[in-house]
Amino acid sequence: MNLRKDIDITINGKALSINESISLAALLDELTIPTIGVAIAINQEIIHKSQWTMRIITGGEEIEIVSIVAGG
Amino acid sequence: MTTTAQANATEPVTPYPPLVIGGEEVSSRLITGSGGMTSLSALKAALIASKTSLTTVAIRRFEPTSSMGLYKLLGELNLKILPNTAGCYSHKEAILTAKLASEVLGTKFIKIEVIADDATLLPDPIETLRATESLANEGFLVMAYCSDDPILARRLELAGAAAVMPLGSPIGSGLGILNPYNIESITNHSNVPVILDAGVGGASDVSQAMELGCDGVLVASAINRAQYPELMAKSLALALEAGYLTRISGRIPKRDQALASSPTEGMIAQ
């Protein structure tokens, strides 16, 4: 019996349900997002790369994953 | 800002000494923007033709195709990357974007661009000043895109900007330098590099900026939206060097009356 629950979060403006107790690093892995060339903010606060494995995602959080694009 | 190069009567400095921004050396004074190009291969050709060493990028939500291709290309060309805060309308947005850019790229360079509205794309002076002050205090090398206002340029410098980037005319307009008097006033009084940003259409605009005392020029649309971007990139690189050499060559003063260049003695009809 699977006791894990789903939580609702937002990634880059899109709603998503994920397993609770998942770390940011595990989430990125699951979404196949590269770990270089990206930066992440949760609820407008930057999460440094060194914190990605420790940072557990909680319900309702708004995650922004950004990278560079041609511009300027 | 006056250049460190000295005019030499017999052998002018050529092409020009490197630009130094906040202690960081930038070998080319032509800074390019990467936006608006039709393809990565066309961008690559234009970047090479421009001989630039610093190019801008924007920060946006991650998209696998658009993000990683550009990242790889700029690495391949060994270019320094100047992230910008394009698309920000407040100092808070610009500050967060600057910090994200620093995380992505590991650079302290940031071009602060806080736009007042979509119709004019003119920079908001108040928000720009706030963002500059905050980020400079945190150790960022802020290159502040601003209007061509000498007093604002002075305030940005006092706020800690590593360079000021007054516009020649609105972004993408190709109208050139609409107020050369103001640009020259900024270059005459600034103690940090002055980079002309926005409004360039062609070679004459780039040359004029350098003749007015600018330390460099940032060009995006003029190259990337030209019919032949690679050719235009080459043209603007030559124009930048030409304008710089004119500036250090000791040009003749402007006169109200003509001054003959042929000798007045020995004429046959006395």
Q: Which residue has the higher pLDDT, B71 or B14?
A: B71
Is A37 in contact with A43 (CB distance < 8 Å)? no
CB contact under 8 A, B33 and A71: yes
CB contact under 8 A, A69 and B104: no
| For chain A, domain boundaries | 6-66
Nearest-by-Cβ selection for B62 from A46, A48, A67: A67
Return the CATH number of the domain spanning residue range A6-66.
Answer: 3.10.20.30
B233 among annotated binding-site residues: no
pLDDT reported for residue A4: 64
Nearest-by-Cβ selection for B62 from A12, A48, A49: A12
For the cut 90, the answer to whether the pLDDT of residue B234 exceeds it is yes
Is B212 in contact with B180 (CB distance < 8 Å)? yes
Q: What is the pLDDT of residues A11-52, one digit of tens each?
A: 999 998 988 889 999 999 998 888 888 999 999 999 999 999
Q: What kind and span of H or E run contains B83? A: strand B80-83
Among the residue ranges A44-48, A64-68, B88-92, B260-264, the one predicted with the least confidence is: B260-264
Q: Please tell me the CATH superfamily of domain B19-248, with its number.
A: Aldolase class I (3.20.20.70)
Question: Rounded to a whole number, what is the distance in Å from the CA of B43 to chain A's nearest CA?
Answer: 9
- Ordered alpha helix ranges (H), chain B: 40-50, 64-76, 91-105, 125-137, 150-158, 180-189, 203-211, 221-224, 229-248
Q: Place B12 in a pLDDT band, splitting at 50, 70 and 90.
A: very low
| For chain B, domain boundaries | 19-248
Q: Place B3 in a pLDDT band, splitting at 50, 70 and 90.
A: very low
Question: Rounded to a whole number, what is the distance in Å from the CA of B140 to chain A's nearest CA?
Answer: 16
B33 among annotated binding-site residues: no
pLDDT reported for residue B8: 46
For the cut 90, the answer to whether the pLDDT of residue B116 exceeds it is yes
As a whole number of angstroms, the distance between CA B75 and CA B69 comes to 10
- Does ipTM come in above 0.90? no
Q: What is the pLDDT of residues B79-98, one digit of tens each?
A: 999 999 999 999 999 999 99
